[in-house]
Amino acid sequence: MSIWWSLHLRREAASVPLARRLLLGTMETAGVDPDVSYDLSVALTEACANAVEHGGDAVHGASSEAYRVTAYLDGEKCRIEVTDSGPGFAFSATPRPARPDAEHGRGLGLIRELADHVHIGHKPGRTGTVVSFDKILKWRDDSPLMAV
């Protein structure tokens, strides 16, 4: 069984809980274990917050007003991608951890802790950043759509 959806969202703070609620509702309906759903929803929240804050198109002197969220529940895995059109940033294989009391800079580290596999990069030929992450799904015993 596969489920996927994609959202084109405005770069506004109000879009973040919308994406999170849609993901949680999809996973609850499919019968995904609540702990796994929670981890993925927190990771999605962090990725969306980064797109809202940093995802504008500064390269061309204009501001991109949107970003995209795509979620795939396919068999035993969920993959989420958040794509923006911002200037991007320098990637590091070993990012510097943020201080525990810092108000900013903890999002990517949190995503790495909550997901099984994380990739941060660019779409070829485009500006912006793509944050994608996967997590192996666990299913509730009463799941109506449990993967076989």
Q: How far apart (Å, rounded) are the C-alpha atoms in residues 39 and 43?
A: 6
- Residue written as token pair 């927190």: 42
The token duo for 77 is: 């895995």
Span 14-70, pLDDT tens digits: 999 999 999 999 999 999 999 999 999 999 999 999 999 988 765 554 557 899 999
- Kindly indicate the confidence band of residue 81, based on its pLDDT and cuts at 50, 70 and 90: very high
pLDDT at 76 over 80: yes
The pLDDT assigned to 59 comes to 52
Strands (E), 17-129: 66-74, 77-83, 117-121
Residue 94 pLDDT > 50 = no
